Amino acid sequence: MADQLPRTPSFLLDGRRALVTGAGRGIGLAAAAALAQTGAAVTLVARSAGEIEAAVASIRAAGGIAEAAVLDVSDLAAVAAFFEVRPAFDVLVNNAGTNRPMPMTEVTPADYDVVLDLNVKSAFFVAQGAARAMIRDGVAGSLVHMGSQMGHVGGPNRSLYCASKWALEGMNKAFALDLAPHGIRSNTIAPTFIETPMTKPFFEDAAFRSSVLAKIKLGRIGTVEDLMGAVVFLASDASALMTGSSLIVDGGWTAE
C-alpha cells in the first residue's frame, strides 16, 4: 500500500541556482539563508560588497553554497548585462525595495521617483532579465517578488509604497500569463510589518507600534523568519501549480 500513497513534492532545492536582490540584510538576507538551507546555490546581490560578503561568509560557515555579486539594480544596463553573462537562475527573489512614509500631500516628484523607480521599474527589469535567461536556457524557473500587505490594502502615509506594491501585484499576474508557456512561474509574498534594520526605527515610536499591533490579529510584529517558509515554498516544487498568486503573510491584517 505504501507505494500507492501520494508523495509530497519536495521543498528541497538541491542543484538549483537562486538569486536574491537586496540580500545584505533584513528580508533579503533571510530569503538567501532559507534558500541555502534547503540546498540551493545562492547568489546574493546588493549595491555594495560589505554586507553581502559578510552574509555569504555566514551561509558558507553554516554549510551552504553562496556567492556575492555587486549590482545596482537601478542601473538597468548593468542588470541586463548581469543576466546575459551568466547561466539562468532557477529561482529569483526580487526583493530590493525602499519606502518613504509621508502624507500624500507632502510627496515630491523626487520622493516618487526614488520609491517607484526601485520598487517597480527595477523590479520589472530584474524579473525581465531573469526570465529572458530562463527562456534562453530552457529553465522552468520560479520568480518570487517581495510585495507587501500594502499591495492589497491602503495605509496612512503609505501612498508611494502602496502605489509601488499594488503595481507589483499587477505586474506579477501579467508576468505569470506571459511566462506560463515557458514553464516559468511568478508569485509574490505580501508580508505585514516585519522588524528589520529598515523598519526598526519606526517601531521605536510607541504610538506607531501600538497602531500596527492593533491591526495584526496574531498580536506581534513579524520577523524575517516568518517569511522564510514562504520563500522556500514558492521557490520549490511544492508550489508547482501556483502562478500569478500572492502569499499574504500578515498575521490577519487584511482579513477584515
Query: What is the pLDDT, as a whole number, of residue 28?
Result: 97
Nearest to 58, CA basis, from 23, 19, 97, 89: 23
Q: What is the mean pLDDT of each run of 10 residues along the chain (256 residues)?
A: 87 98 96 98 96 97 98 98 98 96 98 98 98 98 98 97 98 98 98 90 93 97 98 98 98 97
The residue type found at 232 is V
Distance CA 94, CA 69 (A): 15
Which cell goes with 137?
Answer: 536556457
Query: What is the pLDDT, as a whole number, of residue 206?
Result: 95
Distance CA 160, CA 104 (A): 8
Q: Which long-range contacts (CB under 8 A, 24 or more apart) does 72-80 make?
A: 72/47, 73/21, 73/22, 73/45, 73/47, 73/118, 73/122, 73/125, 73/126, 74/117, 74/118, 74/121, 74/122, 76/121, 76/122, 76/125, 79/122, 79/125, 79/126, 79/129, 80/125, 80/129
Is the pTM here over 0.75, yes or no? yes
Following CA atoms 121, 122, 128, 134 in sequence, which dihedral angle do they give, to the nearest 10 degrees?
-160
Spatial CB neighbours of 150, under 8 Å, sequence gap ≥ 6: 158, 161, 162, 165, 166
Out of 161, 166, 193, 253, which one is annotated catalytic?
Answer: 161
Which cell goes with 222?
Answer: 513579524
Query: Mind listing the domains of the chain with CATH numbers?
Result: 13-250 (3.40.50.720)
Q: Is residue 161 among the annotated active site residues? A: yes
